[in-house]
Amino acid sequence: MGFKDDLLSQDSFLGGQLAVHQPKAGYRAGVDPVFLAASVRAHPGETVLELGCGAGVASLCLGSRVAGLTLTGIELQHEYAALARRNSVENGVPFEVVEGDIAALPAELRQRSFDHVIANPPYFLRENGVSATDEGRETALGERTPLSVWVDVAMRRLVQRGQLTMIQRAERLPELMSALDARAGNIEVLPLAPREGRKARLVLLRAIKSGRGPFALLPPLTLHEGAFHDGDRESYTPEVKAVLRDGAALRWPEA
């Protein structure tokens, strides 16, 4: 059984290019998976695996921007996996969704390798906060599987020279870097700052399996114009607005 229609909303992404069903109560995707998708340097004909795909927003955004990809996702929660399949069909973006736990990857995925692995792992360590009352939201936001396992699974599923792309809270960057160990190089980290002069709350990370290039901490991307929120209006910078509303790729500074 999946979500009943009266428990769902239909939300627009990429300026209306995608119409995605999400639960009214539960985990609801915002801009984070859009930034994740916009950061993937994918090309037609390549294969992509999303770990913990939820309702499918990141993969569908990526497939909308880059035609000809083979998109696959794994999702632990049956209701969200069913929703991702429905969103795939209704938006005309082919997307294979496998139900399973990344910590015990189904055999059908253990036998495959991918050009890209993308992930938006849970942000919060449960010992550091209060659990959400909604089970779906709690599973999406509260870490049950260690971040190191997410990284390990990603690296194992990548082809040589394949690329990992992740988004995570800035405070967990040391843990993320430690989990990458010697299997990855050419690591680039792009901090996302809400406004100029503010601390980054999120980071985007890209890494190449078996890469040998140096680490690069890039200048932060500022999301909003102005020093503070000055009213009920959208204040995204033009570059960010192009990503969120037009489906543009996110331009990373040169490392």
pLDDT for position 229: 65
Burial class (CB in 10 A: 0-12, 13-18, 19+), 116: buried
Token digits of residue 30:
């915002």
Count Cβ neighbours within 10 Å for each residue of 24-59 and write b for 16 or more, e otherwise.
eebbbbebbbbbbbbbbebeeebbbbbbbbbbbbbb
What is the reported pTM? 0.90
pLDDT for position 126: 45
Angle, helices 147-157 vs 173-180, to 10°: value is 40
What is the spatial distance between Cα 177 and Cα 187, in angstroms, rounded to a whole number? Answer: 9
Angle at the Cα of 37 (from 36 to 42), degrees rounded to 5?
125
Question: Which one is the CATH code of 5-246: 3.90.190.20, 3.40.50.150, 3.40.50.2000, 3.90.1150.10?
Answer: 3.40.50.150
pLDDT for position 255: 66
**What residues does each domain of the chain span?**
5-246
pLDDT for position 141: 43
What is the spatial distance between Cα 199 and Cα 191, in angstroms, rounded to a whole number? Answer: 9
Q: What value does the CA radius of gyration of the chain take, rounded to a whole number of Å?
A: 17
pLDDT tens for the chain, 255 residues: list them: 678 999 999 999 999 999 999 999 888 999 999 999 999 999 999 999 999 999 999 999 999 999 999 999 999 999 999 999 999 999 999 999 999 999 999 999 999 999 999 999 999 764 544 444 445 444 444 458 999 999 999 999 999 999 999 999 999 999 999 999 889 999 999 999 999 999 999 999 999 999 999 999 999 999 999 877 666 667 999 999 999 999 999 999 986
